[in-house]
Structure 1
């Protein structure tokens, strides 16, 4: 114990000697090293439309602090005047900001030439509403004398608050359509048995964020659940199952979904009624029956404003198919069972022509129906002759998007409903390597590339709104 006490006494003496040398101006080589602590940033205060006060905890050894303020959380760009702005206190007034914008700040402590690492990052959103950016599709469409919905096809797993999809959707689009998850196959698990999770998420997301929801689709031959495909009851019982499904789905979403594609793609490529299980078991009148059940369900639920659409593809270039589709439409109109037509528009950069599109759409306009360009994408590699999106094809695609948007924008106000792009990013499109479409290779058919960066096609869409 005595030895330990002696050693502690010697250590204490050495410390006192060092401090004494420091006070008396002794050699700097014997001065103790002062380690600056990294500051801790705390929440902002006094937040207004154009300013806030940044705050941080004092670091005793610090002579001053350096504050950074940015509009990005990786500080890739700085608010003017706030890149390593030096302050002597523990607050900084950050001014000259925009309303309704999220900003980020961080702090470093400084003594002489020594500067610490960055503090934690604080996020602060100024009050007020940010002016809407006219380079966003829906913003420009909403500013038109006769605005219309700008839509996009979605998957339920994309609709997470704060995701890249969520940010793009809320900025750019005013309507959503389920790409697949609101068709019969994923919803109906048995007679009167349903899986609602994905459909509910899509509908609730739209309703919660003030975004229109278009229902797609109640009856489609490629989305028949196994239990119904293998149904062993009578044809009359089969029809009752279809009626029950339509009634239950329309009733569940009454007042939450503004429009439905009731029957999808009922005409084959030869211009005949497609030989589906619905036609085989329910007869030639099955389409009108489905629309009647949808209308009855909506009315019974108090939704007397529900819009019912027929939806199909390739009607601009396939005249027999176009004629048959309008035969169906005419028949539905005699019973007041249809409000609009969905023209899918899975086009290429070469086809259809402007005149073919206008002729097709104007047949529905002449009937007083709503027009939904329902599944728009534009292929640039339908013959698999390029391995990347060339500038030539990119510009051609831009012009085709511009053309279809201009055609739609020129429609009478009473006939406009929505123009929906079929997906977000090129690499998530259904087009590349599609066996259904007989598309042999890659393609880049949408408004955003694989990295979610805007393409010239997006500019073409905007220019079409001029």
Structure 2
């Protein structure tokens, strides 16, 4: 039987070798660096490749759950919760001495069908509040959360443009501030992140996305919402130029507002990049360097996380397969868990030597 991500999402957690929970040594070269490096982990991948757990623990100081804490997986039916995969991932982190970055408390996507039956604002607010309370209280040792994810549409029609979805339709833009206030009430010392993608590009859509994101951040701060950090996902599109000066200025402005900056989901969509692996790796590393140097020039980040760590275990391989049939190379380690030029750039970023 072909094992797919969708299969595991439907089947839930499957037992796997105890070795995947063994405490592995963190790479000494990375352990001495101050900026934590993390990777997103999709729990079913551990059953496919038990070595994945060892390599993440070797290279990383923190992990982010890819799907395990999203609403749809946690709450498959009304009144029912399924924490099996989230608990397993958190237990793996605890055993291996890794921090967990919670992802995500409120998102327009990954909602089960039963949620759409809720029509009143009061019921929607109660549901959101219950969800945030349940996750934060269940995982009190998680002190960094993506509170609201992807609140800006892909193509904003103005600075006040916000992404449509269940929470926006039932509660309006106020749901974002509500979520941050509830998260802060429950975990007042946590890093509370507003997370977004596609704000780094120099093409025609980049300025509009940055402007709308900036407006939302400023609006939340004006309302006294306890946003403490901004997440730049960094799903880079191979071949799209980085707006280096504009991104650096944006980061500097956020820092001047007292906000922290995190790189939360870094990878490179290489569907249109050269076929030759070595050449492609050079192009990818150069684009990652442009992105991270702009952030460094603006004042830097407190952590960096890639969306996966090894090429075969990336959403890009099934979402953006290459037309030439060669495997995607979107992450810092190759299929044999060997570091590529991508990892060298991360190392430079963490050491302040970009």
TM-score (norm 1): 0.62
Cα distance in 2 for partners of 1:132, 1:443 equals 26
The number of residue pairs the alignment matches comes to: 315
Alpha carbons of 1:132 and 1:288: their partners in 2 closer, same or farther (altered >3 Å)? closer
Tell me which residue corresponds to 2:39.
152
Aligned counterpart for 2:57 among listed residues 170, 175, 180:
170
Within the alignment, does 1:211 sit opposite 2:103 as a pair? Answer: no
Q: Tell whether the 8 Å contact from 2:26 to 2:58 is kept in structure 1 after alignment.
A: no
Q: 1:274 aligns to what SS in structure 2?
A: coil
Q: Which sections of structure 2, spanning at least 5 residues, go unmatched? A: 1-23
The CA deviation at 1:148 is 1.5
What are the Cα deviations for residues 85-126 of structure 1, in whole angstroms up to 9, with x where unaligned? Answer: xxxxxxxxxxxxxxxxxxxxxxxxxxxxxxxxxxxxxxxxxx
The CA deviation at 1:371 is 0.7
Q: 1:337 aligns to what SS in structure 2?
A: coil
Q: Tell whether the 8 Å contact from 1:423 to 1:446 is kept in structure 2 after alignment.
A: yes
Tell me which residue corresponds to 2:132.
246
TM-score (norm 2): 0.80
Alpha carbons of 1:130 and 1:268: their partners in 2 closer, same or farther (altered >3 Å)? closer
Aligned counterpart for 1:333 among listed residues 218, 221, 236:
221
Tell me which residue corresponds to 2:200.
316
Tell me which residue corresponds to 1:235.
121
Tell me which residue corresponds to 1:396.
283
Tell me which residue corresponds to 2:268.
378
Alpha carbons of 1:459 and 1:229: their partners in 2 closer, same or farther (altered >3 Å)? same
The CA deviation at 1:396 is 2.1
Cα distance in 2 for partners of 1:306, 1:422 equals 22
Q: Tell whether the 8 Å contact from 1:263 to 1:310 is kept in structure 2 after alignment.
A: yes
What are the Cα deviations for residues 271-329 of structure 1, in whole angstroms up to 9, with x where unaligned? Answer: 2111111111112311111212222233xxxxx31111000111123222212212221
The CA deviation at 1:407 is 4.5
Cα distance in 2 for partners of 1:211, 1:355 equals 34
- RMSD (Å) for aligned C-alpha atoms: 2.7
Q: 1:193 aligns to what SS in structure 2?
A: coil
Structure with the bigger percentage of helix? 2
Aligned counterpart for 1:343 among listed residues 232, 235, 248:
232
Aligned counterpart for 1:273 among listed residues 157, 162, 181:
162
Q: Tell whether the 8 Å contact from 1:315 to 1:360 is kept in structure 2 after alignment.
A: no
Cα distance in 2 for partners of 1:375, 1:290 equals 21
Q: Tell whether the 8 Å contact from 1:378 to 1:446 is kept in structure 2 after alignment.
A: yes
Query: Looking at CA atoms only, which structure, 1 or 2, has the larger radius of gyration?
Result: 1
Alpha carbons of 1:225 and 1:131: their partners in 2 closer, same or farther (altered >3 Å)? closer
Tell me which residue corresponds to 2:245.
355
Q: Tell whether the 8 Å contact from 1:192 to 1:244 is kept in structure 2 after alignment.
A: no
Within the alignment, does 1:419 sit opposite 2:309 as a pair? Answer: no
The CA deviation at 1:425 is 2.0
Alpha carbons of 1:205 and 1:411: their partners in 2 closer, same or farther (altered >3 Å)? farther
Q: Tell whether the 8 Å contact from 2:63 to 2:101 is kept in structure 1 after alignment.
A: yes
Cα distance in 2 for partners of 1:276, 1:421 equals 27
Within the alignment, does 1:450 sit opposite 2:335 as a pair? Answer: yes
What are the Cα deviations for residues 319-347 of structure 1, in whole angstroms up to 9, with x where unaligned? Answer: 22212212221222231410000001111
Cα distance in 2 for partners of 1:130, 1:315 equals 36
What are the Cα deviations for residues 406-449 of structure 1, in whole angstroms up to 9, with x where unaligned? Answer: 4455665xx632100111222222223527xx986753111122
Cα distance in 2 for partners of 1:460, 1:356 equals 21
The CA deviation at 1:244 is 1.0
Q: 2:317 aligns to what SS in structure 1?
A: coil
Alpha carbons of 1:405 and 1:215: their partners in 2 closer, same or farther (altered >3 Å)? same
Alpha carbons of 1:411 and 1:323: their partners in 2 closer, same or farther (altered >3 Å)? closer
The CA deviation at 1:257 is 0.6
What are the Cα deviations for residues 51-77 of structure 1, in whole angstroms up to 9, with x where unaligned? Answer: xxxxxxxxxxxxxxxxxxxxxxxxxxx
Q: Which has the higher contact order (CA 8 A, sep 6+)?
A: 2
Q: Tell whether the 8 Å contact from 1:431 to 1:439 is kept in structure 2 after alignment.
A: no
